[in-house]
Amino acid sequence: MKRTIPLLITFLVGISLIVAMFVPHDPFHGLDSNFSIFYDVIAVFAFILGGGNLLKVHFNKIQNKRRDWKYSVVTVSGFFLVLGAGLLKIGVPEGWSGGYQASGSLFKYLYDATFQPLQATMFSLLAFFVASASYRAFRAKTKEATILLIAAFIILLRPTPLGFYLTYWLPEPLKFLHIPNLSTWVLSVPNMAGQRAIMIGIALGIVSTSLRLILGIERSYLGGDSS
pLDDT tens series, the chain, 227 aa = 677 888 888 888 888 888 887 877 777 777 777 777 888 888 888 888 988 999 999 999 988 888 889 999 998 998 999 888 888 888 888 877 777 778 888 888 888 888 889 888 988 888 788 777 777 766 667 787 788 878 888 888 888 888 888 888 888 888 888 888 889 999 999 999 999 999 999 999 999 998 998 888 888 777 765 54
Exposure pattern of 45-73 as b/e (b: 16+ CB <10 Å)? eeeeeeeeeeeeebeebbeeeeeeeeebe
Supply the pTM of this predicted model.
0.58
Burial class (CB in 10 A: 0-12, 13-18, 19+), 127: exposed
